[in-house]
Amino acid sequence: MKGRKLLMIPGPVEFDPAVLAAMSEPTESHVSPDFIRSFGRALDMLKQVFLAPGGQPFVVAGSGTLAMEMAAANLLEPGDKVLVVSAGYFGLRYRDLLARCEAQVTCLEAPVGDTPDLEQVEAELRRGGYKLLVATHVDTSTAVRSDARSLAGLARQYGALFVLDGVAAAAGEELRQEEWGVDVYLTASQKAVGVPPGMALLVAGPRAMQAFQGRKAPVRGYYLDFANWLPVMQAYQAGQPAYFGTPPVNLVRALEVSLEQILAEGMEARFKRHACMGQAFRAGLQALDLRMLPVRESLAASTLSAVYYPQGVDARLLAEVSRRGAILAGGLLPAIRAQYFRVGHMGASGSSDLLATLGALEGGLAALGWKFPAGAGLAAAQQSLLASA
């Protein structure tokens, strides 16, 4: 539509027209045969997207924070020890959430733009007694990506379950849940999964479900309790009606459409596309002499970028970029909130969106007096995209 601005924040993101069309279909009964079939297919496809054929999917009305809380509430009992590996705002959010479960929480933090190193994590796990290791795959506040595969290996080595917050990563960053040994992988609908906000998505592996089934204390949360949701998920997967709470019918239908698109693209191709998009955007930023929050390229996420304002430029840049057709997000970490901005490049967003955003960014920077060769960011990004084609 003419005049429409690109939504290039770290979520909600741009959505495919077919997904939005599914949202506009007449709402049907949550126990109708057509809806049961749609929901069952969506649950089965979620396992395929997470590469977790033996996992148990849960799709529940709520936000990503609900998925975080479901994982914690169902796996932890009072007094259990948890190790949190934090790379920013959402690692610290999980720390605080876990404390509400009356767990004994140890949190490893790193300087802004970094993540605790694996040796530090292993040294803490070696102390023994940890039931859970919790990490954020990509922290939305810093665009720092954790080494999920290595963390999963450490959790197995030291007898802990591994819970990975994939809210800003799932269906974009490479993640092989079953192969790598991620016991719970969770996300929200509105990011790389490509569905408007409103659903918490989670796949629990066999070890996680075994731990849940063996717990002695009741789950401290009625809506959160796997025991209430598991029969519903299993029934829909088996093509049977069930009820605990009314599912978000139109969102589930949109999820079915989006997951079909994701699997049609193929997970390998999707991982590669997001990696190429991230590399191209960073190349464009570097050509404009902008500095990113992640302190090393190996830590930079494929799904979003976090960028420091250059000298003499501040949050006015967001309004200037918006006037040129792209909506970006401000900073989130309280200590440096005013010093940086964030750009999402995930899900249905493609190379044309990326280049349009860089063009708007160049225009905004120029309007605020930042000096650079005109078109430098666009040229660098385009060169990167062509090299990876």
Q: Do 206 and 309 share a domain, yes or no?
A: no
- Number of structural domains (the chain) is 2
Give, in order, the Cα–Cα distances in Å from 158 to each of 199, 205, 280.
33, 18, 38
Residues 275-333 pLDDT 10s: 999 999 999 999 999 999 999 999 999 999 999 999 999 999 999 999 999 999 999 99
Please name which of 344, 347, 359, 358 lies closest in space to residue 9, comparing C-alpha atoms: 344
Q: Do 40 and 156 share a domain, yes or no?
A: yes
**Of 265, 281, 301, which marks where a domain is finished?**
265
Around Cβ 153, how many Cβ atoms within 10 Å? 16
User: Residue 4 has what pLDDT?
Assistant: 84
Residue-wise DSSP of 194-213: ---S-EEEEEE-HHHHHHHH
Give, in order, the Cα–Cα distances in Å from 284 to each of 288, 342, 372, 388.
7, 14, 12, 14
Cis omega before residue 373 (within 30°)?
no
Q: Do 271 and 243 share a domain, yes or no?
A: no
pLDDT string in tens for the chain (389-residue length):
357 899 999 999 999 999 999 999 999 999 999 999 999 999 999 999 999 999 999 999 999 999 999 999 999 999 999 999 999 999 999 999 999 999 999 999 999 999 999 999 999 999 989 999 999 999 999 999 999 999 999 999 999 999 999 999 999 999 999 999 999 999 999 999 999 999 999 999 999 999 999 999 999 899 999 999 999 999 999 999 999 999 999 999 999 999 999 999 999 999 999 999 999 999 999 999 999 999 999 999 999 999 999 999 999 999 999 999 999 999 999 999 999 999 999 999 999 999 999 999 999 999 999 999 999 999 999 999 999 97
The pairing of beta strand 138-139 with beta strand 144-145: antiparallel
**Of 265, 288, 321, which marks where a domain is finished?**
265
Q: Do 183 and 326 share a domain, yes or no?
A: no
The DSSP 8-state label assigned to residue 135 in this structure reads: E
Owning domain of residue 287? 6-11+266-388
Q: Do 176 and 189 share a domain, yes or no?
A: yes
Residue 312, phi then psi, degrees to nearest 5? 90, -5
Q: Is residue 304 part of a domain?
A: yes
Q: Among all chains, which residue has been given the structure tokens 């060169």?
A: 383
Q: Do 169 and 235 share a domain, yes or no?
A: yes
**Of 244, 265, 286, which marks where a domain is finished?**
265
pTM for the structure as a whole: 0.97
Q: Do 204 and 292 share a domain, yes or no?
A: no
Q: Is residue 1 part of a domain?
A: no
Q: Do 207 and 105 share a domain, yes or no?
A: yes
